[in-house]
Amino acid sequence: MKFPCATHPVVLVNYHDRNKWVVQAATETIEAELGKIEIEVNREKSKMVDLGKGESFDFLGFRFRRVMSRNGKWRPDMQPTMKSRKKLTENISAICEQNKGQPVSKLVSDINPVMRGWVNYFRIGNSGRCFSYVRDWAEKKVRRHMMRVRQRKGFGWKRWSSDWMHGQLGLYNDYTVRYYCQSLPSDRSHNPWRRSCQESLVPEIGPPGSLRRGVESWG
């Protein structure tokens, strides 16, 4: 029996000498529980990583690692893997190939749903820098399409501005990264802003490529 991709288990253990026994206990427990339903752990695909040593692991299209924040504290970092980004660019390249000789409006209408779905899935964590790359890459593909129709080289930077590409032409342009943090209960009940945060999830939005990350508050 094989696990679906979305059910591949990941066990996180807080690193400390007193927690070393948890690693062995978790491994034995997982093997015992899976054995009850006749599922054997694939040891070739299973691995153990130490984020404190600069190692990382991939899960559901994201790469997880530990990095130093600007305030000198360690924080978790999650962003799309190179494999996920490569799959997107291959899909967009295939769409551009299929639309050779077609109006640019047809190309944009085919690209936008793919871009929207991919970005919406990865719109959390620390995806801003990857989004900046994807945004520029997709814009260049559309620019090349329009210049090829005119039998010209280059990307037409002087002919069309980025604002025109995303505004009038309608190329997908929503690459903001959204952060959702839930405030912990506080005894400072006199502050109405704190009370409102305790009652709901508060989204925080940052621009593509921004160094500000909501997850830094974890550190």
172 lies in some domain: no
Residues 93 and 143 in one domain: yes
Q: What are phi and psi of 174, to 5 degrees?
A: -95, 85
pLDDT of residue 85: 96
Between 88 and 25, residue with greater pLDDT = 88
66 lies in some domain: yes
Which residues share a beta bridge with 177? 206
Residues 86 and 75 in one domain: no
What letter would DSSP give residue 20?
H
pLDDT of residue 206: 46
Q: Report the domain count for the chain.
A: 3
Residues 201 and 142 in one domain: no
Express each pLDDT in 105-139 by its tens digit.
999 999 999 999 999 999 988 999 999 999 999 99
Rounded to 10 deg, the angle between the 82-98 and 128-149 helix axes is: 20
Residues spanned by the domain of 13: 5-80
Residue 22 has pLDDT above 70, yes or no: yes
Residues 105 and 116 in one domain: yes
Residue 98 has pLDDT above 70, yes or no: yes
Q: Is 9 helix (H, G, I), strand (E, B) or coil?
A: coil
Domain boundary among 29, 46, 80: 80
129 lies in some domain: yes
Residues 18 and 67 in one domain: yes
pTM assigned to the model: 0.71
Say how many C-beta atoms besides its own lie within 10 A of residue 214's C-beta. Answer: 19
156 lies in some domain: yes
Between 22 and 58, residue with greater pLDDT = 58
Cα–Cα dist 143/151, whole Å: 12
Residues 190 and 158 in one domain: no
